[in-house]
Amino acid sequence: MRKSSFFTGQPIFNQLLCLIPRSLVSRLARQYQTDRYCKTFRSFDHLVTMLYSTLHQCNSLREVVTGMQACASRLRHLGLSVTPRRSTLADANERRNSQLFEELYYQIYKRYYGGLPDSLKAKRWIDKLFIIDSTIISLFSAVMKSTGSYGCNGKKKGGIKAHVLLRAKDDLPCFIRLTEGKAADSSFLPSLRLPAGSIVVMDKGYRNFQQFIKWSRQHITWVTRLHARTVYTTIHCRPLEAAEQQQGVLQDQLIELGNPETAHINAVQKARLIVFYDQVTKREFQFVTNNTELEASTIAAIYKKRWQIELVFKRIKQNFQLHSFLGDNENAIRIQVWSAFIADLLLKIIKDRADKKRKWSMANLASLIRLHLGTYINLLEFLCNPDKSLLNYQPQQSEQQTKLFPLSIRGA
């Protein structure tokens, strides 16, 4: 029997895992002591299993275990000796510290996209742009408290909220914080550490004047929309040029945010109010920023880029399993959410490398890789021309094929 030359090398799943250094996982396991009292199912085995579940969009523990058992011949390439049992995986999701997966995401991001510098002043505004927003992932029971109305039974389903700081240049979250769904969006702002010269854009739910003042002192530009309950005082109306009026700028004012009567308690923030009319949506917007140098139309363009983070949320929720969870406890839910962010990061790394020869959308890339996780073929060459790469692909087959019906039954 001729041996197929395409059945060499490593499967695509292992090529994705090669982006994660084993030494990094071992170091984090020692740091968080996640392998204590573990004989066989160690941290790396847990990571491989959760990434397999995430990429395959498995709905249950049984689906994960039986799926990995079907790929038993490829376990050696994945660094596994045996497949886990359902009880073993459930116990690991409940007991193993989820901070291992959290720190692993940040280390992988830092390895391939670099850390944040101390200053971003000598850059274009698109390179300095950071986007802040949050999304709620609904849960099946009241594991974590969420917002919304109560059901007919008087109970409310839980929800985990992912507060995300997205760097627009990389199209990837550079800081993530997971909380209960009921947590306020503005509580996420004090935990951010941004370099000087950054531009931060957010919706009007992030109304925190103290944080705005702190950012202004750190030379960080912030852009948001004016909240309906915000009290402000107009200081000066700036004249508008004809070019700005044609682009949709209606007003450009210098204001003071906050109530002057309580200025001795809460400091008043000087800001800039821009009224902009979008001719496409036929809507009027009020933007507030501390930047007085950029043109009013540029401020409107910066806020328009905020929609990028909504597309990232849509990308993660559609491509990975976040509507069915493998555990009914908070730690298991956190591990599965972090596994989805890690899987998205790995696919984004592959996409950036493949885009040099052929452009891919994340939805098509995730679907193609999910179908060929066990295929022994070079991933980057496969993405450059999938049809040609698979045209001569012939996996090794046994001469003795199992028949669905015995010969005597078929002849009867």
Question: How far is it, in rounded angstroms, from Cα 367 to Cα 188?
Answer: 33
Whether the pLDDT of residue 258 is over 90: the answer is no
Average pLDDT value over all residues in the chain: 85
**379 alpha-carbon distance from chain centroid:** 22
**110-121 in b/e burial notation, b at 16+ Cβ within 10 A?**
eebbeebeeebe
pLDDT at 304 over 50: yes
- Total domain count, the chain: 1
pLDDT at 5: 44
Query: Is 407 inside a domain boundary?
Result: no
Tokens of 284: 């009027």
| Predicted confidence (pLDDT) per residue in 97-129, tens digit | 999 999 999 999 999 998 777 777 767 888 899
pLDDT confidence of residue 159: 83
Which pair of tokens denotes residue 33? Answer: 């002591």
Q: Considering the domain boundaries, does residue 249 fall inside one?
A: no
- Residues 6 or more apart whose CB falls under 8 angstroms from that of 241 comprise none
Give me the mean pLDDT over the 267-276 stretch: 87
321 pLDDT tier (thresholds 50, 70, 90)? confident
Mode of pairing for the β-strands spanning 249-257 and 232-237: antiparallel
pLDDT digit string, tens, across residues 32-46: 999 988 888 899 999
Residue 339: inside a domain, yes or no? yes
- Does the residue 412 lie in any domain? no
- Chain segment 219-256, per-residue pLDDT in tens: 999 999 998 888 888 899 999 888 889 999 999 999 98
Does any domain span residue 248?
no
Q: Are 336 and 322 in contact (CB under 8 A)?
A: yes
50 is a domain residue: yes
> Per-residue pLDDT for 285 more than 60?
yes
Q: What is the mean pLDDT of residues 81-106?
A: 92
Q: What domain range is 91 assigned to? A: 12-102+329-391
Residues 6+ apart with CB under 8 A from 61: 86, 89, 90, 326
Specify if 86 maps to a domain. yes
In angstroms, the CA 67 to CA 52 distance is 9
Q: What share of the chain is helix, strand, coil (3-state, %, to 5)?
A: 40, 15, 40
Residue 18 lies in a domain: yes
pLDDT tens readout for residues 146-201: 655 555 555 656 788 999 999 999 999 999 999 988 888 888 999 999 999 999 99
